[in-house]
Structure 1
Amino acid sequence: MSSSTISGFTVLPISYGHDATHYLYARAHAGSKKSPSSNALPDQRTLFLVNVPPDATERELIMLFKNSGTVERVLFDGDAAIEELDDDEDESDAEEQAEVLAEAEDSQPARKKRKLDAKNKKPVVIPLPSPPLRRLRETGRTAHVVFLDQSSLERALVPYSKPRPWPTSEEPSGLAHYIARYDAARPPLDIIRAHADSAMELFEYELRQTKQQSKYRKGEDIVDEDGFTLVTRGGAYGKNLGGGVGVASKKFQETGETTTRPKKAEKKEKKNFYAFQKAEKQRNDLLELKKNWEADKAKVEKLKAARKFKPY
């Protein structure tokens, strides 16, 4: 490629090995002042890249532009918004969990707190092994490289005299990436067992915490805002929520008899379920076909005999 610029983009050739060349297209980032990302991507220090390799990592782009200057951060298109959203969700979940635990501790008497400290200690889920694997993106993606000063951006836009080699990284690439991904999806059985056991312990712990926060206490009647005792239906009798006093049904109060459930209808015998039933059905169908065939044959012979030759 002879031209060093195309439509305002500087062409940066990158060599993969000896005979493979990849082309990056770079220009200075020009954002809008009203855009919310203007603070994260300053115009004077941000390099906009097009046709970024799908398996490129942040470390590789930092090493690629290391000679131009210090890179402050690298943002791939679409990744920044996702990371901010995930961080917000994690913070909100942590706050909710802290509030739940605080309420649970306050609801327990002072004497029980000491005994339950060891029992209610929150278990930690043993994670499955996750080797460092590079993230594969779609082809033709873009990225923003933010430098520490403006002079670094100017040096990064200088065309290369010859293709610059793509920096190597610790994460496997190519076929090695898919082999490592295959091995990571099939961890040893003992590690899977430890992960499952720890996850069940965490589930049981959270279940105990929710039961401690429940307002329904055994032996205590639950009264709503209007002063009525909440009753739930259970079998032939009703029962108070949380209490032990039973409330009889209307039929029991009038007649003293409990409700009886209707008897289940007898199961009908299934047809063509056994082998001899299928064989017998096939034999009967065959006899019926033969009988119909003989009857049709007699009708045909009778029609033939009734015909007369009439040449005129």
Structure 2
Amino acid sequence: MNTLPITVSGFTVLPVTYQKSTHIIYARPHAVSKSAKSKNRNLPDGRTLFLVNVPPDASEREISLLFKSCGTVERVVFDHSPEEELRNEESDSDSEVAEEDVEIQDAEGQPEEQPRKKRKVSKEKQPKAPTVTPLSTTQLRTLRNTGGCAHVIFLDSSALDKAISGPIKPKSWPTSEEPRGLTHYMALHDSCRPPLDTVRAHADSAIELYDYEQAKNKQQAAYRKGEAVVDEDGFTLVTRGGAYGQTLGGGVGVANKKFQETGKMNNRKKKEGKEKESFYAFQKAEKQRKAIVDIKKNWEADKARIEKLKESRKYKPY
């Protein structure tokens, strides 16, 4: 192998040997400007090693083993993605601190209450949520873009100096149980085509989980369907309202808010019932007789009107 330079454009050359090939990784200490220090608090200055041209199938464990001789590796971050992870960690830690403060304030503000005697109630063990059977249990490595970068964060700054101190001897790439190369794609092909028994077990477990969630939601929202809600002691819970404006389960009435506030009933005037027409036989006969009389009256009126029009004519042939 030809002699490799120690540094290239400020990067230290780190040769890594595979079985039949050699891969070159470029490394330098990670440094940020003063204005960006507040944004990159997850990449501490003085303990972070910046790597370029990282193998696309490299894992965090393999990189940690590669620099194990230099010092303890705290964590490895690929492709400048740690900021979001650490922001989530910081938000989680802040929320935990806030919850602890609230609990302390509540404990200080509330007076000490005497413990109440609780009745012993036989509680049935709630069934655990079923777990979905995975289609494949093979662990595959994550493939990234070629020529990617990574940040290696050490626990001590002295480990960073050892990692970039020359001359650098070629190191063999650590081995792992995860398949690599063509074996990786063969394992991926097999994991995407599981046997029918595994597919059936996965589908059955997914349906069981769905039924469990539906039953749980139905139990929590039983009042929406007019079902009676029973507490732990076996008593029916009486509440006002519901999906149909009735008390849960039926059979128990609860006064409305207006009656509870004023104590007066809502006096509404009832509509007077109208007598039905043509209900009896004599009503039908009278209705028909009246219709015939109206027709005769209208005929006589029309006849008189026509005679009057005839008399008003100027020309009378006869």
Which TM-score band applies after superposition, normalised by the shorter structure?
0.5 to 0.7
Among 135, 138, 146, the alignment partner of 2:142 is 135
Q: What letter matches 1:182 in structure 2?
A: H
Once the two structures are superposed, residues 285-307 of structure 1 have per-residue CA deviations (whole angstroms, 9 ceiling, x without a partner) of xxxxxxxxxxxxxxxxxxxxxxx
Residues 62-98 of structure 1: CA deviation (Å, up to 9, x unaligned): 1211222221211112443565688899999xxxxxx
- Return the alpha-carbon distance in structure 2 between the equivalents of residues 26 and 62 of structure 1: 14
Instruction: Report SS of the residue matched to 2:14.
Output: strand
TM-aligned CA distance change 1:230 to 1:39, over 3 Å: closer
Structure 1 unaligned runs (5+)?
Answer: 93-109, 232-238, 245-312
Q: Residues 45-194 of structure 1: matches in 2 within 5 Å?
A: 45-81=47-83, 83=85, 114=123, 117=125, 120-194=127-201
Q: Between Structure 1 and Structure 2, whose CA radius of gyration is higher?
A: 2
| Alpha-carbon distance, 1:217 to partner | 3.7
After superposition, the Cα gap between the structure-2 partners of 1:166 and 1:121, relative to the gap in structure 1 and judged at 3 Å, is closer
129-138 vs 79-88, which moves further: 79-88
Contact persistence 1:128–1:195 (CA under 8 A): yes
Q: Is the 8 A contact 1:72 1:148 kept in 2?
A: yes
Corresponding position of 1:4: 6
Kindly tell me: are residues 165 and 243 of structure 1, through their superposed partners in 2, closer, same or farther at Cα, counting changes over 3 Å? closer
Q: CA deviation at 1:41?
A: 1.9
Q: Does the 8 A contact of 1:63 with 1:167 survive in 2?
A: yes
Q: CA deviation at 1:16?
A: 2.4
**Given residue 175 of structure 2, which amino acid in structure 1 is its aligned partner?**
T
Is the 2:77–2:150 Cα contact (8 Å) retained in structure 1? yes
Cα distance in structure 2, aligned partners of 1:12 and 1:179: 31
Residues 1:79 and 1:132: Cα distance change in structure 2 (over 3 Å): farther
- Give 1:148's aligned amino acid: L
2: distance between equivalents of 1:131 and 1:82? 28
Name the residue aligned to 2:30. 29
Deviation per residue, 1:211-237 (Å, 9 max, x gap): 1222314368x977xxxx976xxxxxx
Whole-angstrom distance in 1 between the partners of 2:154 and 2:170: 22
Distance 1:217 1:26 in 2: 65
Q: 1:53 to 1:113 in 2, by over 3 A?
A: farther
Deviations 1:93-141 (A, max 9, x none): xxxxxxxxxxxxxxxxx999845x45x5422222233212111001121
* Higher strand residue share: 1
CA contact (8 A) 1:12 1:159 kept: no
| Greater mean alpha carbon deviation, residues 192-201 or residues 37-46 | 37-46
- Alignment CA distance shift 1:180-1:68 (3 Å): same
Q: Distance in 1 between matches of 2:44 and 2:91?
A: 27
2:29, 2:148 → 1: CA distance?
17
Aligned residues: 215
**Alignment partner of 1:216 is 2:224:** yes
Report the identity percentage.
50
SS of the aligned residue for 2:224 comes to: coil
Letter matched to residue 27 of structure 2: A
Paired with 1:81 and 1:134, the residues of 2 have a C-alpha distance of 22
SS in 1 for 2:151: strand
Q: Which moved further from structure 2: 62-71 or 44-53? A: 62-71
Post-superposition Cα deviations, 1:41-71, rounded to whole Å, max 9, x if no partner, equal 2211111101111000111111211222221
Give the residue type in structure 2 aligned to 1:22. Answer: H
CA contact (8 A) 2:226 2:243 kept: no
Q: Is the 8 A contact 1:24 1:49 kept in 2?
A: yes
TM-score norm. by structure 2 comes to 0.56
Which ranges of structure 2 fall in alignment gaps of 5 or more residues?
96-118, 229-238, 251-318
Post-superposition Cα deviations, 1:18-52, rounded to whole Å, max 9, x if no partner, equal 3x222111110113455456443221111110111
Deviations 1:130-172 (A, max 9, x none): 2121110011211111112111111100234543222222111
Output the CA distance in 1 between the equivalents of 2:67 and 2:79.
18
Structure 1 residue 240: Cα displacement: 8.2
Alignment partners' CA distance in 2, 1:143 and 1:47: 8
Alignment TM-score, normalising by the size of structure 1: 0.57
Partner SS state of residue 17, structure 1:
coil
